[in-house]
Structure 1
Amino acid sequence: MSAGDGTIQFDTDQIATLSSQTMSHQKQWDDIWSGVMKHLSHAAAEALSQSPGGSLSERTQAYHRKTQAYTANVQRQGQAVGRVGDTAVQTNSHMTKIIRGA
């Protein structure tokens, strides 16, 4: 997208919005997981504890570890995209000045 001053404008707002929306869904995922745990009967919990992957408690801990890692990854990606956008805007500005002879 081109700005009025002859530079190229990079639209990183949509990526930041997507990152924010993804992170805001974490509560919904946690609520779904809590609902699953509440609906499991004692027998189902026992069956889970006998299967690979461990008990319901261990699975819950694993879920929370993976959710935290995923959220941290999304945050890092959002920051990286922001830095790339900033660098691109700065580079474009410098190139435009050089081309204009400024």
Structure 2
Amino acid sequence: MECYTRAGVFAGWKYDRPVVCLANIRIREELRGGGLFSSIIRTLKDEADLFGLHRIEIERVENPRLADWLTRNHFSIYSWRSLGTPSTTYFLDVVKS
């Protein structure tokens, strides 16, 4: 699996709490459907307090299968993006305490 990852509080993103963002996700064909991505998301959700995490973002979702998975797993899509282009970034608020 390859993906670009960043974490922190990002000024100007209209959200001022700790976020982890995964972008440009690529999973080799032979590993798809094996639960790798879902296990990463599950760990981030389960350990949100440990990580001080409030939100998970999945950026640049261009694969319809991933978009469907995110929607089924309670992620929302941002309604805004610069230059009036539809958003391709999904998010899930995970703060537990």
TM-score (norm 2): 0.28
Taking CA–CA contacts closer than 8 Å with sequence separation of 6 or more, which of the two structures ends up with the larger relative contact order? 1
> Which of 1 and 2 has greater Rg?
1
TM-score (norm 1): 0.27
Task: Indicate the structure with greater helix content.
Answer: 1
